[in-house]
Structure 1
């Protein structure tokens, strides 16, 4: 765990849970696994506050507990904290795939850590009624909840307020039989049994990560070739996962006949059906280096017209290469990016060979080589050679330690996201007075409109703020939107690099 990863985790905990929970999380991050007694000593907080903080962290899967002879040890899962940066991406994914009602349900489960299906449906009903002033039908909401379980976006967990989520449990997506007549009573605040007592649900983050991973692979093919190739890759991924574990490095082969049937059945593009073979060959050729073992799609066997296998490990290796090359291009220019690509593809290469392959002035090649060497993007190895007369000469070979470069760049990502979150908080704090005033005015205007007030009254409320104050609110909102958008982009880069490390 790195310095800026710890700072970012601390910032996220403070933003979502407050200072006390942040202090407990910081202690577990800095000192590793601890029991309750040492946590009280290290944090210098009252026992009751430490217990409540641990309950909150356990409920959201951020802390795991394990019983040992000396007592119960608590361990922080920093990955679960970083995962909170991706909540907006997951919510948008559910909205796109299953609809607005399912989006609200996912938000409610994310807010609570885990929750009963009946409570999630009631809260969704209330929020939709407040937003649209129309009551959605409870059977429809139950179907939306079942759709979330069918797509494996949420899963059952054995949990209680005291114990929290049980780690390592086997995924269970079976729905209990819900009693529909109980929901109107629960919505009115009356006592009723919905038939799901003790059955809690939590978000299946593994499913979301796999879908995000697959979408990145599809986008890569889209950008490199065209949308038809991306659609073919999507259909091939669907077929591959029917016969392969979700996190396999290389997916099991799929016969060409099945690929054609899948494309014909599910693709909305009749043109793709005619050119499946050609697109498979183009994808394999465009995403390969020097030999066939480095293709993201490989043909294996000749039965059923040939079988095709996707190499997810190689796909993320190439995505990481492209990401690192683009970063170097932004920092050092296009020539440095070309030099990095040459060293990446040709490890342990001499500087004279680099100069000849780059086709630039030797002085520029040397300058850029040592600039990248200084920033640790490339590494140098000295090879000593002894001649017959006992004279020694040295050869300097350049190579890329890709794993170390990826880890270094991930630390830069943590630093950038942390800095932007701090800047966003600063902007909100400094301009709190004018933004609060603007929000109060909006609430008053909405209440007046709801009560049927005239335009004159509403205009009087608008005049409570000056033009300068309106411009200030607009400037602050624009800055915060820009910072939030940049965070999402950097988080995507962080995700690509973390996926590379997961497969390597």
Structure 2
């Protein structure tokens, strides 16, 4: 999904709140103009070289900017020219608002391991850390115990790597050839272009992919003394047994003196949130048995999906699915026939191997989210007409929409016009000459453009919630600075009111972000 105007404003607000105006100005310039060289960045921002350099260092440290080398062919027989450019990572900027969700996921998966949680929190707060920096941070916050701090950090990092919640930092400056960097020609948006999965890969995705370490190193501790002990760890990473010689060859090819930097793996957290969204959507449609079967399949295919991101889960036999289902209390009460019926409800064909189409579940969740917005904003009549058009897919005339959705023929054109005016419907005028000269209005739901419009509205709403929260905190900063003992009854009422407003704003922002991820991240 492309960046929208309010999406850029929202991202700039996040950077401003976290790092200040100077860093935000550099980030905004990159978001609006695309990848730029240092010289052009200084020119467009009108900042000094030192200010731009420092801002870039902060943004790179916190994984919001990726440098890369763009190689262009020389003219008139000249040698190829390589320029270092800087690209803002829009998705990573938005992820900064999801750190609490990431920590909650890690806490649940790692069974509330406090050492792992503290290490992950440090990486989220600081962006990138070396092993030495992680040990120093742990020593400043932990009391001396029975185990040495370096051992605790080492074991915690190993657990996080094994769960793929932490990864090695990408290459500082990958190289993109002219062929890779070349943008494909834009395609016309039509009914067939509605599927988001058909959108060509963006420059951001290509740069991130080229900078990412190969899988054998991405989740590797890099300790040659303990490689034998961690062979099972590598087999989980790759999905198959790696040859020991290949691993040693890859490790020897790196610089032994270089310091390994670690960061949180946003891809894994988004994958977990995506699975959670699929489960919650299925829960709203079916019973607990279907939910339990879907959860079992996602858990059984988790290690395979870590390496290859697919829209369809890897094939599993019915026996393997049933074995996974039986691992929890709800599943033990399910018969094999009920598991098969649940698979049928999930749209799995009755074959030897079963696969779940996660893309279809997400697409249906997106449709339900938009229909919910139409229902709340425009009423039940508009909801019925919009839902009819969404299911029909093609162009439909006003009278047929009115009859099919049981809406008064006098009210239907007004509602349709309002939806069209707010960019929720596409309208096409057709001139008719038989039996008399007249103008016919045809309507349809253009999902590609509508999804982009809805996403922009969500960015706008998120920005407004953030601004309101900042306003409330600024207005009551004197109240917050007072010790609790110095607050009289009127001040306590103000404090309680601020606490409720802040909680409501934060809760609304988290729920809105869940809907936002449906359209941008999933």
What TM-score, normalized by structure 2, do the two folds share? 0.77
Contact 2:67 2:172 in 1 (8 A): no
Deviation of 1:311 (Å): 1.1
Question: 1:396/1:258 Cα in 2 relative to 1: closer, same or farther (>3 Å)?
Answer: same
Deviation of 1:273 (Å): 4.3
Alpha-carbon distance between aligned partners in 2 of 1:487 and 1:136, rounded to the nearest angstrom: 41
What residue is the counterpart of 2:78 in the other structure? none
Question: 1:158/1:255 Cα in 2 relative to 1: closer, same or farther (>3 Å)?
Answer: closer
Contact 1:383 1:397 in 2 (8 A): yes
Contact 1:249 1:313 in 2 (8 A): yes
What residue is the counterpart of 1:64 in the other structure? 66
**Of 206, 209, 227, which aligns to 2:267?**
206
Deviation of 1:326 (Å): 0.4
Contact 1:8 1:415 in 2 (8 A): yes
Query: How far does the alpha carbon of each residue in 1:112-154 deviate from its partner, in whole angstroms, 9 at most, with x for none?
Result: 211123432452454354xxx9787645554332211111010
Deviation of 1:242 (Å): 5.3
**Of 74, 87, 94, which aligns to 2:86?**
74
Alpha-carbon distance between aligned partners in 2 of 1:148 and 1:66, rounded to the nearest angstrom: 28
Question: 1:87/1:135 Cα in 2 relative to 1: closer, same or farther (>3 Å)?
Answer: farther
Residues paired across the two proteins, number: 439
Alpha-carbon distance between aligned partners in 1 of 2:154 and 2:134, rounded to the nearest angstrom: 10
Question: 1:201/1:242 Cα in 2 relative to 1: closer, same or farther (>3 Å)?
Answer: closer
What residue is the counterpart of 1:254 in the other structure? 316
What residue is the counterpart of 1:446 in the other structure? none
What residue is the counterpart of 1:287 in the other structure? none
Structure 1 segments unaligned to the other structure (5+ residues):
181-194, 285-296, 442-461
Question: 1:62/1:298 Cα in 2 relative to 1: closer, same or farther (>3 Å)?
Answer: same
What residue is the counterpart of 1:400 in the other structure? 445
Q: Where do residues 190-205 of structure 1 align in structure 2 (5 Å cutoff)?
A: 198-205=259-266
1:174 aligns with 2:188: no
Relative to structure 2, which stretch is displaced further, 149-158 or 133-142? 133-142
Higher-RCO chain (CA-CA 8 Å, sequence separation at least 6): 2
1:335 aligns with 2:381: yes
Relative to structure 2, which stretch is displaced further, 258-267 or 147-156? 258-267
Query: How far does the alpha carbon of each residue in 1:37-93 deviate from its partner, in whole angstroms, 9 at most, with x for none?
Result: 232233232221211111111122211222343742222122211121221111111
- Report SS of the residue matched to 2:123: helix
What residue is the counterpart of 1:361 in the other structure? 408
Deviation of 1:230 (Å): 1.4
1:236 aligns with 2:297: yes
Q: Where do residues 211-226 of structure 1 align in structure 2 (5 Å cutoff)?
A: 211-226=272-287
Contact 1:65 1:74 in 2 (8 A): yes
- Report SS of the residue matched to 1:363: coil
Alpha-carbon distance between aligned partners in 2 of 1:141 and 1:179, rounded to the nearest angstrom: 17
What residue is the counterpart of 1:87 in the other structure? 99
Alpha-carbon distance between aligned partners in 1 of 2:303 and 2:380, rounded to the nearest angstrom: 42
What residue is the counterpart of 2:15 in the other structure? 13
Contact 1:153 1:208 in 2 (8 A): yes
Deviation of 1:363 (Å): 1.9
Alpha-carbon distance between aligned partners in 2 of 1:43 and 1:382, rounded to the nearest angstrom: 46
Contact 1:358 1:365 in 2 (8 A): no
- Report SS of the residue matched to 1:382: strand
What residue is the counterpart of 1:42 in the other structure? 44
Q: Where do residues 94-109 of structure 1 align in structure 2 (5 Å cutoff)?
A: 94-98=106-110, 99=112, 100-109=114-123
Contact 2:384 2:405 in 1 (8 A): yes
What residue is the counterpart of 1:32 in the other structure? 34
